[in-house]
Structure 1
Amino acid sequence: MQTQTCPPSIKPDDKVVLFDGECKLCHAWATFLIRFDTQRVFKLASVQSDAGQAILQWYGLPTDVYETMLLVEGAQMYQKSLAFIRVMLALPWPWKIAASIWLIPKPLRDWLYDRIARNRYTLFGRYTTCLLPTPDHLSRYLNGG
């Protein structure tokens, strides 16, 4: 992983959550962040967007199969349960409490994360296309959507 420069479209102080825009669970996660990230700490990008694809390529990650949420903080990238923990820590109370999953050993946390991620379409459903942000949410997305 490169650490001296930031991925495309990302500034050093940006915090960007990449999510699967066709996954209903992931879309609900993005909607949750829009609602409860009252300080607007995070920007969002679907992995299917041009910006999302460029970020995945920059980190050498697959651009056609998405099995994890990513958090990009400047040049640093976090995946799976660690990404979730870092996001929850940045949200206001009571959401910070969810970060207490760090008490679970990382291998077990990530194993559970992987089970949900691999079965998310079966468990929660899938949109046939990537949903576009509503006009009032555009400012929350990297590059305005």
Structure 2
Amino acid sequence: MALLAPPIARTSASLPLAGVTPRRRLETTSTRTTSLAAVSTPRGGESTADWVQATSRFFDQDTRPIMLFDGVCNLCNGGVRFVRDNDRNRRIRFEALQSEAGKKLLQRCGRAPDDISSVVLVEKERSYIKSEAVLKIMEYIDLPFPQLAFFLQLVPLFVCDFVYDNVANNRYTIFGYSDSCEL
């Protein structure tokens, strides 16, 4: 298991509290923001709580969130480079969805281990997918992106997800893919 970005010392002011959800997102859709403390049964038949416990070691020494991305997608790899370049304080870790750690973290979120359809942000207590994940990632990186994320949250979720889904469904056609994860 290789999680990119070395651990850093954090102060309590460097990140929002774990478990805090975006302002309007939780009220409009409870299925999109997954609370990892809730016990549910995903497609694999095992409860989410089992996967939370099985993957808790990812957050034992380092509580920074983990961005899961499609490791062979050129758009996704470019997005990771962008986040890494604009995250001077290294608040986010990265893991390819195709890796063993990525598959386990997907199951922790209640998703199928082979689901590479969306970027996922996994925090210690919550996970985010699709446009919500992108907006949450923007909150963690440097200025002006947290402010931009705040204003983009005013756009209805179905509009953001419509745009996200159209880009995601055509990402290999538009941006291409590589044979292996470059990160």
Alignment map for 1:91-110 (pairs within 5 Å):
91-99=141-149, 100-110=151-161
Alignment map for 1:120-139 (pairs within 5 Å):
120-131=171-182, 133=183
Residue 29 of structure 1 is matched in structure 2 by: 79
Code of the residue aligned with 2:59 in structure 1: it is K
Q: Are 1:88 and 2:138 an aligned pair?
A: yes
- Conserved? CA contact 1:6–1:75, under 8 Å: no
Deviation at 1:34, TM superposition (A): 1.4
Residue 10 of structure 1 is matched in structure 2 by: 58
Q: Which moved more, 1:81-90 or 1:10-19?
A: 10-19
Residue 101 of structure 2 is matched in structure 1 by: 51
Pair member with larger Rg: 2
CA distance in 1: counterparts of 2:105 and 2:89, whole angstroms: 24
CA distance in 2: counterparts of 1:90 and 1:121, whole angstroms: 27
Decide which structure has greater helix share.
1
CA distance in 2: counterparts of 1:69 and 1:14, whole angstroms: 16
Q: What TM-score comes out, normalization by structure 1 length? A: 0.82
Taking a change above 3 Å as real, the CA distance of residues 31 and 121 of structure 1, as seen in their structure-2 partners, is same
CA distance in 2: counterparts of 1:95 and 1:65, whole angstroms: 27
The CA RMSD measured in Å over matched residues stands at 1.8
Deviations 1:65-119 (A, max 9, x none): 4111000110311011111111111211122243122111001111111111111
Residue 140 of structure 1 is matched in structure 2 by: none
